[in-house]
Structure 1
Amino acid sequence: MNILVLGGTRFFGKKLVELCIENGHNVTILTRGQSGNPFGTKVKQLVVNRDDANALSQALSGTTWDIVYDNICYSPNEAHQLSKLLDGKTKKLVFTSTLSTYDINSTVKTEEDFNPYNYEIRMGEREDFSYGEGKRQAEAVLFKEATFPVVAVRFPIVMGENDYTRRLHFHVERILQDQPISFPNIEAKMSFITDEEAAAFLYFAGITPIEGPYNATATDAISLQDLMRLIEEASGKHAKISLVGGDEQSQSPYGIPADWYMSTAKAEAAGFTFSHLHDWLPALVKTLVKELK
């Protein structure tokens, strides 16, 4: 198949491209070129800033795709532009969405908790919205405007050794350095997924006939308190936890006021089997502790 990946040079986007190559597909990556091309001649690269509508239109002129993966769409304007440019050019779009489309209110989230098909659209750029609202708006635009099948994959926080956001790294480093970490609710539970499993589900979403929104996360959830204990056990250090206030530098990037995790029943019914969070998280924590000591 001919596959186009928007944003495929780092983290789970890179894993997705590697998976497509391994399965013998013809892969093109579309990037700004800032992260280079880690795949060499195994892929074709289009160096384009997606915010430049004319350049993006020119880059996609005369192309057709079996699957397009968009990992870097954050606003309704970007979604609208892409849905127009891909009209008649692709058989399917897989859009990377987020757990942030759901409210944080301690209930286990199912896909029905956010319905993009009847969500009111407000056009704008990414800076006009919060991260979660930008993704909600992008989903709504794609599902209402696209003339081709669309899958919106709602990921929680993605973890991995090569996470450029370094969110898990933050906690490991603060504990190793005896620095405080502040949480609004350390008993709150969260969902997580690895970069490899995120890539695997994106690939699955592209090659199977599913459409619509799908949650994708490792099964089960973990409290932030238990996550800190994993780091303490792996490092032999005691975490300095603050539950009230704290300066900006100490605030956990995982800080949430209540449980925030998802059900994967819909994806599992479609045929995908997810890993169990506790089968890989302790090993990842140990690896990061060893690397960062």
Structure 2
Amino acid sequence: MKDVLILGGTRFVGKKLVSLLLTKGYRVTIGTRGTTPDSFDGSVKRLTLDRADFQSLEEAVGSSEWDIVYDQICYTPESASYACRLLENKAERYIVTSSQSVYDFLDKELSESDFDPYSYSVTGHGNDLSYSEGKRLVEAVLFQQAKFPVCAVRFPIILGTDDYTKRLQFHIERIRDGIPIGVPNMDARISFIDSDEAASFLVWLGDKDLQGPINACSSGSISIRELLAAIEQEVGKEAQTLEQSEEQNRSPFGIPSSWHMTNGRAEQAGYQFRSLNSWLPKLIRELCSF
């Protein structure tokens, strides 16, 4: 039986990850601020901690050791450095949730080699960083400094009925209400993954010895035009779009050019991703029925 620590784990993908690991019979500890209620009752051990405070982490971790550590809430180089210091000799395997945001917009399918964290210069501090730069530096610190095996999972935008950011609902609501949506490039292609598969992939990865960055996305991509058309079909109204709009009406998927990934490294290692078309139309249908 494996001992697993999840930093985060009380909502969205983290919550599903906990449930899947419990199903596998693992002993699961979740480390959070303790402010978000969960339904795990006595099936998990809980550590109350502040991910951004070294002393808080040190006190919570203590002398415990884990077979796998999943870090769902690492956003700054400082937090990554804390993990390197605290988990040395305490983690057999460390899997950090990273992001497609580490990549620039390139006119190609993005592969892991398009951002190299092993040679990326570590400069800047958490409060001064964008989300994308924070994730680049998280990877850079971990891969350059950690004394334990690290894998960084580069997820695209994650969707699901339980997505608390409601980015897909944003488009449904505005199309339904006839509110123009700001979309700078209707033909830009984008990657997604659904929350169930994101959690399943993390569980699968925990049993492998893969290290380094790894893309995890549904097979295939979709243009913003195609996405809006799928919503139009369900809503029964035509989307009103503008290249520029007020900030509150700008699409969360409004990218200037195509931004989509290949999942070839994970598939070569044995994981078979679902196709985007196998779940996205159904999700749109479900959300439109709410």
State the Cα distance separating 1:216 from its structure 2 match. Answer: 0.3
State the Cα distance separating 1:82 from its structure 2 match. Answer: 1.1
| Residues 10-57 of structure 1 deviation map (CA, whole Å, 9 limit, x = unaligned) | 111111111100100000001112212321111111111112211110
Partner of 1:118: helix, strand, or coil?
Answer: coil
Partner of 1:207: 207
TM-score normalised per structure 1: 0.97
Partner of 1:136: 136
Partner of 2:178: 178
Structure 2 distance, partners of 1:159, 1:106, is 24
State the Cα distance separating 1:249 from its structure 2 match. Answer: 1.3
Structure 2 distance, partners of 1:34, 1:129, is 25
| Residues 154-198 of structure 1 deviation map (CA, whole Å, 9 limit, x = unaligned) | 000000001011111111111111111011101100000000111
Partner of 1:116: helix, strand, or coil?
Answer: coil
Listed as ranges, the gaps of 5+ residues in structure 1 are none
Matches within 5 A, 1:117-156: 117-125=118-126, 127-156=127-156
Whether contact under 8 Å (2:88, 2:146) holds in the other structure is: yes
Whether contact under 8 Å (1:37, 1:45) holds in the other structure is: no
Whether contact under 8 Å (1:77, 1:123) holds in the other structure is: no
Listed as ranges, the gaps of 5+ residues in structure 2 are none
Partner of 1:64: 65
- 1:6 maps to 2:11: no
Partner of 2:220: 220
State the Cα distance separating 1:288 from its structure 2 match. Answer: 0.2
Partner of 1:97: 98
Structure 2 distance, partners of 1:115, 1:75, is 17
Partner of 1:172: helix, strand, or coil?
Answer: helix
State the Cα distance separating 1:106 from its structure 2 match. Answer: 2.2
Structure 2 distance, partners of 1:198, 1:161, is 14
Question: What letter matches 2:208 in structure 1?
Answer: T
Partner of 1:230: 230
Partner of 2:281: 282
| Stretches of 4+ aligned residues off by more than 4 angstroms | none
* Aligned-CA RMSD value: 0.8
TM-score normalised per structure 2: 0.98
| Residues 98-127 of structure 1 deviation map (CA, whole Å, 9 limit, x = unaligned) | 1010001221101000111111111522x2
Partner of 2:197: 197
Structure 2 distance, partners of 1:122, 1:201, is 31
Q: Percent identity?
A: 46
Partner of 1:266: 265
Whether contact under 8 Å (1:191, 1:218) holds in the other structure is: yes
Partner of 2:196: helix, strand, or coil?
Answer: helix
Question: What letter matches 2:284 in structure 1?
Answer: V
Partner of 1:122: helix, strand, or coil?
Answer: coil
Question: What letter matches 1:31 in structure 2?
Answer: T
Question: What letter matches 1:198 in structure 2?
Answer: A
Structure 1 distance, partners of 2:248, 2:223, is 22
Partner of 1:249: helix, strand, or coil?
Answer: helix
Query: More displaced, 212-221 or 99-108?
Result: 99-108
- 1:109 maps to 2:110: yes
Question: What letter matches 1:185 in structure 2?
Answer: N
Whether contact under 8 Å (1:184, 1:255) holds in the other structure is: yes
Structure 1 distance, partners of 2:114, 2:81, is 23
Query: More displaced, 201-210 or 111-120?
Result: 201-210
Structure 1 distance, partners of 2:230, 2:35, is 35
- 1:247 maps to 2:246: yes
State the Cα distance separating 1:4 from its structure 2 match. Answer: 0.3
